[in-house]
Copies of this chain bind each other. A is one copy, B any other.
C-alpha cells in the first residue's frame, strides 16, 4: 500500500531494526548510517505508521481533551492554550465531548477513551459525573482543570476568592440588593460553580447582607440563559436587584441584552459584573473577574505531558492560577463624556 520500514531498509541496505533506530535518532547507530537512512527515508517519503508504532510500543502518541462543551468561549481559550503546547510535541490532540447533561451519550465513554491516548486533559467536568469515574478507572495519566479529581495533576483558579471579590466590589459600590445568575446547581457541592457560590455567600454574609433566594437564578452558562435569568429578575421580582453578579461573562451578555431591550443601562440602572474576562467583555464595558484561560490550558497540557513522560509520576500537584478584578463601566459608571 504505502512505503514501509522494509522498503527503507531494503533501499538503504540495512535491517529494519536499524532503520527504526536511525529514524528515531538513537545514539547507538553509526552517525554515517543514521544520516544515510534518514536521507533514504526522506527520499522515499517514508512516514512511520502510527498505528503500528503504537501497537508495538504500547504508547498511543496522542492525548485526549475531554470537556462537556465546545461552544463556550472559555473552552476555546483553553483549547488554544493546549494547542500551543501540543504543537511543540509529536503528539496528536484528540477531542472528546462528554458530560454534557443534555446528551444521553450513545457510546459509553470508556469505549471511546480507552487505549486511544496516552493521557487525558479533563476540562471542567463535574466531580461526580459518571465520566470522571470512568476516566479514573482507566488508570491513565490525567491532568485536569477545575475541581481536583481522584488524580494527581490539577489546575485551578481560586473561584471562591474571585466570586468573593466580585461580590465585594458590588457591595463597595453601595449595592445591597444583589442578584446572582449562576449556571445550574450552584448549591450542589459536587459542582464546579459551587466554589463561586460560596465566595458570593461569604462576601454577602461578611457585609451582613441577606441572600434573597428569589434573586438567585440559573442561567445555564449561555447567553440565552443569561437573558432568561435577567427577564425573570426584572419581571417576576417585586423589587428588582440593583446589582447583578453573573457566573460567566456570557450570561452577563444575555442579561445586558435584556436590560437594554427595556431601556436599562448596565452601570447606570443596574450594576452588572461577570466572570471569565473574555475579550468581548471590554467592548460591552462589562466589569468581570478575568481568568487566564489560555494559561490554564497550556499549564494543564504541560502537566499532562510531564505525567506521561514520567517526570512527575502520580502527581505534579495542584497549580492555582490567579484571577483579577477588571472594573469597567457596568459597575462603575465613570463620568466620561459619552455622547
Q: Hey, which chain B residues are within 8 Å of A60, CB to CB?
A: 50-51
Q: Hey, which chain B residues are within 8 Å of A87, CB to CB?
A: 97, 103
A282 to B258, CA, bound (A): 11
What is the distance, in angstroms, from A83's C-beta to the closest C-beta of chain B? 5
CB-based contact A223/B279 at 8 Å: yes
CB-based contact A114/B280 at 8 Å: no
Interface residues of A in 36-78 (CB under 8 A from B): 45, 47-52, 54-55, 58, 60, 62, 70-71, 73, 75-77
Copies of this chain, whole number: 2
Going nearest first, the 10 A-B pairs with the smallest beta carbon separation are: A51-B54, A47-B114, A51-B55, A71-B80, A76-B76, A93-B95, A280-B280, A51-B51, A70-B80, A49-B115
Q: Hey, which chain B residues are within 8 Å of A54, CB to CB?
A: 51
CB-based contact B70/A263 at 8 Å: no
- Asked whether A107 is an interface residue with its Cβ less than 8 Å from the other chain, the reply is yes
Interface residues of A (CB under 8 A from B): 1-2, 45, 47-52, 54-55, 58, 60, 62, 70-71, 73, 75-77, 79-80, 83, 87-88, 90, 92-97, 103, 106-107, 110-112, 114-116, 223, 253, 256-257, 260, 263, 265, 268, 279-280, 282-284, 337-339
A268 to B2, CA, bound (A): 63
CB-based contact A339/B263 at 8 Å: yes
Q: Hey, which chain B residues are within 8 Å of A62, CB to CB?
A: 94
A62 to B92, CA, bound (A): 12
CB-based contact B257/A282 at 8 Å: yes
CB-based contact B71/A92 at 8 Å: no
CB-based contact A58/B1 at 8 Å: yes
CB-based contact A47/B110 at 8 Å: yes
A50 to B71, CA, bound (A): 28
What is the distance, in angstroms, from A93's C-beta to the closest C-beta of chain B? 5
Can you identify 9 A-B contacts, CB atoms within 8 angstroms? A47-B115, A48-B115, A50-B116, A71-B76, A83-B97, A93-B94, A93-B95, A93-B96, A284-B284
Q: Hey, which chain B residues are within 8 Å of A111, CB to CB?
A: 47
CB-based contact B58/A55 at 8 Å: no
What is the distance, in angstroms, from A44's C-beta to the closest C-beta of chain B? 13
Q: Hey, which chain B residues are within 8 Å of A107, CB to CB?
A: 90
Report the nearest B residue to A280, measured CB to CB.
B280
In-complex Cβ contact of A256 among B76, B94, B265, B283 (8 A): B283
Q: Hey, which chain B residues are within 8 Å of A75, CB to CB?
A: 76
Q: Hey, which chain B residues are within 8 Å of A94, CB to CB?
A: 62, 92-95
CB-based contact B265/A339 at 8 Å: yes
What is the distance, in angstroms, from A70's C-beta to the closest C-beta of chain B? 5
Report the nearest B residue to A256, measured CB to CB.
B283
The residue among A52, A70, A107 with the most chain B CB atoms within 10 A of its own CB is A70
What is the distance, in angstroms, from A207's C-beta to the closest C-beta of chain B? 30
What is the distance, in angstroms, from A111's C-beta to the closest C-beta of chain B? 6
CB-based contact A263/B338 at 8 Å: yes
Q: Hey, which chain B residues are within 8 Å of A58, CB to CB?
A: 1
Q: Hey, which chain B residues are within 8 Å of A279, CB to CB?
A: 223, 253
Report the nearest B residue to A222, measured CB to CB.
B279
Q: Hey, which chain B residues are within 8 Å of A90, CB to CB?
A: 107
In-complex Cβ contact of A283 among B70, B115, B284, B338 (8 A): B284
